Amino acid sequence: MMHVLGVQSMTNGETVMASAGIEAPAERVFRALVTREIEQWWGSADTYRMADWSADLRVGGRWTVVVRTADGRELPAGGEFLEIEAPRRIVQTRAYAWDHPTLGRRQTTVAWLLAPTAKGTRLTICHGGFAGLGDAAAEHAEGWGRVLAWLQAYVEAGRLAAA
């Protein structure tokens, strides 16, 4: 289990749950998740960056991204939007278009749930589809903890800059 700045992430080996409190309205957090703005915050110089992000933001619409690693490899991923309820909920399929070391090309499902709080938004991620792949679940739990910390830092820094 990971706990950093109000970010929590854990897995039972089949599903990953991660959550973070973000001091910004749900509309602002939602926008950071579904627009090309994702390229600005998702990643770091020593891990990977998101590039070429695109999405047809409607139920049945496709989304794609290229993950560019610190050593220059390009690893594509994508999926389909199953549910969109702006700014409260996004459910999407996700699969790597390359042979991920622990997950392969298995399709998984990510649900993003945004709930208003006194200070902003509680973002919860439920990422399912890891049955039988405990190592992949553990690795993704750690990854989601990082992703939420990046998002939290990005949105909150922008909020302070705008204040």
CA-to-CA distance for 121 and 98, rounded, in angstroms? Answer: 34
Residue 147, sorted as left (phi over 0), alpha (psi -120 to 50) or beta, turns out to be alpha
Q: Tell me how far the alpha carbon of residue 129 is from its chain's centroid.
A: 15
What CATH code is assigned to 10-159?
3.30.530.20
The 10s digit of each residue's pLDDT in 119-132 is 999 999 999 999 99
The 10s digit of each residue's pLDDT in 44-94 is 999 999 999 999 999 999 999 999 999 999 999 999 999 999 999 999 999
